Amino acid sequence: MSRPSLGTRPGIIFLKGHLVKQFVLIFMSMLLVVCSGAQTSTAKDDKFSDVEKEFQALAKKFGVQLKDLGIHATVGEGPDLKVLLDVNGTKMMIPASISKVATASAVLAHFPPGYKFKTQILAVTEPVGGVLKGPLYLKGGGDPSFVSENMWFLVNSFTRNKITKVEGDLIVDDSMFDKVRYDESRQKERVDRAYDAPAGAMSFNWNSVNIFVRANAKGSPASVFIDPENEYIRLINKAKTVGGNENKLLADRDEDKKFAGDVIHVGGSIGQGLKEVVVFKNITQPDLWAGYNLKSFLAQRGIQLTGTIKNGVTPEKADVLAESESKAIEQVVADMNKFSNNYVAEMLMKNLGATKKPKGASLADGMQVLNEHMQSLGVPSEQYRMESPSGLTRENKMSSFAMWKVLQHLRNDFRVQPEFLTSLPIAGVDGTLKRRMKNSKAERWVRAKTGFLTGVISLAGYAGLEDGRVITFSFIYNGSTDETKVRAFFDNLLIYLVK
């Protein structure tokens, strides 16, 4: 038998050699890509290789003891999620105002973007010849953002009914919420500062009054203006004008037991060198406060109200004569978070309660909805206890991991992520972070909710990195170190993580 011709073998051997060569080249290319990816991943991770060392150094520098901290911080997402720091992450601590993160999460879950609250003027009789006989009703819809601009819109809409006189009382209906004006978990003693304002379904101007004081000739009384001007406030002005630039004004608010309203006492002195000083005080009766302001606004449009201001309930057969809508819900949440507004937090919580109980909704009704929401997110029940939506209490308890869990949900759920992120203060730019991390690598790269009570400092939110990744962090401090040092510790830790 003859052997196969050798003439074809070299070709076959050459072809196989060519294939092998191509395979080797492809394999090496793939290996390079994999190695390159591994190097990139390693390079990313190397950015945080010294994070524990830096954390320890910063804690020592600012005199912060680790036992007083609760910290949980991660970077990346999905399978690339990496824990950067976990210090007492499951320890229950007082969170202060970062509690509003949980409140925002529940609110955004229950009210879709663009949702608006309504405030109405109603009546049961028809006007005759420009005169409306019988009571006029002002019905509150739980709007936390109902301010002077909204009141003007409501009154201007009302004027189109061509009513020039109301012969009867103005009945303020705030029955959508209960009559408990303050979160019972707040500090027990009331103060007249704006941050301790009461809540009511019919509220106006954050349930606070603006007091403007201007200097006059030296030795003469100072000029004091109440804004907006109305019969609910009775002003007692004993402020004097003195030389210099000092502000030694004293302003107090007292509830007037004989008169349905509040008394503002202004005393002390204002220096001639000061252009104007503004003081904010809360009021005590939201419904009557809103009613007297409506009467004042109507009068400015030439509409006379002959009766008195009372509290009551709108009859079902009443017709709507004017209506004002609130800001969109996401903007209301921003009002709460940007400036840590406790009043807005409680108003929103009662609105949550009203989703299940349309009349007389209480804070407890809302907190039940919030706690159900927390459970739906898988937050460990043994790592949080929420009594207050605002965090203006020492009764709230939460671990840094529990707060991180809520933040991670808000980051990953696209239905609420844009609205929540926009609501947070921006480092070095606005809100409660306006003066923090300014002119540092973290300016505009950190968006977070702040918290403060005596012995409590907290910060929770997100820090962006130039490579596109995002750090989710929750920092809580409960201890006796000076608050400025704790804030500096948190800020410098974030600056390090960002850069």
DSSP state letters, 82-147: EEEEEESTT--B--GGGHHHHHHHHHHHHS-TT---EEEEEESS--BTTEEES-EEEE----TT--
Query: Which range among 10-19, 102-111, 192-201, 451-460 shows the weakest confidence by mean pLDDT?
Result: 10-19
Helix, strand, coil content of the chain in percent (nearest 5):
35, 25, 40
Domain with CATH 3.40.710.10 in the chain: 51-113+330-498
pLDDT tens, 115-153? 999 999 999 999 999 999 989 999 999 999 999 999 999
Residue 13 predicted with pLDDT over 60 = no
pLDDT tens, 212-227? 999 999 999 999 999 9
Q: Which two tokens stand for residue 216?
A: 């006059």
457 contacts 487 by C-beta, under 8 angstroms:
yes
Pairwise CA distance, residues 446 & 433, whole Å: 9
pLDDT of residue 255: 83
- Quick check: helix, strand or coil at residue 178? coil
List, in sequence order, every residue forming a beta bridge with 310; answer none if it has no partner.
Answer: 171
pLDDT tens, 244-269? 999 999 999 988 777 789 999 999 99
Domain with CATH 3.50.80.20 in the chain: 118-181+287-325
Residue 400: name the closest of 42, 68, 60, 59 by CA.
68
149 contacts 119 by C-beta, under 8 angstroms:
no
Q: Is the dihedral of CA 335, 340, 344, 346 positive or negative?
A: positive
Sheet holding 223-227, edge to edge: 223-227, 208-214, 277-282
Q: At what angle do helices 363-376 and 99-110 cross, to 10 degrees?
A: 90
CATH of 118-181+287-325, one of 3.40.50.880, 3.40.109.10, 3.30.830.10, 3.50.80.20: 3.50.80.20
Q: Is the dihedral of CA 89, 91, 97, 99 positive or negative?
A: positive
Pairwise CA distance, residues 292 & 296, whole Å: 6
What is the number of other CB atoms lying within 10 angstroms of the CB of residue 308?
A: 13
pLDDT of residue 32: 41
**What integer is the mean pLDDT of 168-191?**
87
66 contacts 45 by C-beta, under 8 angstroms:
no
CATH class of 51-113+330-498: alpha beta
pLDDT tens, 374-420? 999 999 999 999 999 999 999 999 999 999 999 999 999 999 999 99
Pairwise CA distance, residues 354 & 361, whole Å: 5
**What integer is the mean pLDDT of 311-338?**
97
To which H or E segment does residue 384 belong?
Answer: strand 384-385
* DSSP state at residue 221: B
- Quick check: helix, strand or coil at residue 202? coil
Unique residue bearing structure tokens 């923090």: 436
Structure-model confidence comparison of residues 98 and 77, the more confident one: 98
Largest CA distance in the chain: 134
To which H or E segment does residue 490 belong?
Answer: helix 483-498
- Quick check: helix, strand or coil at residue 43? helix
* Residue 196: C-alpha distances to residues 175, 178, 199, 341 (Å): 22, 18, 10, 9
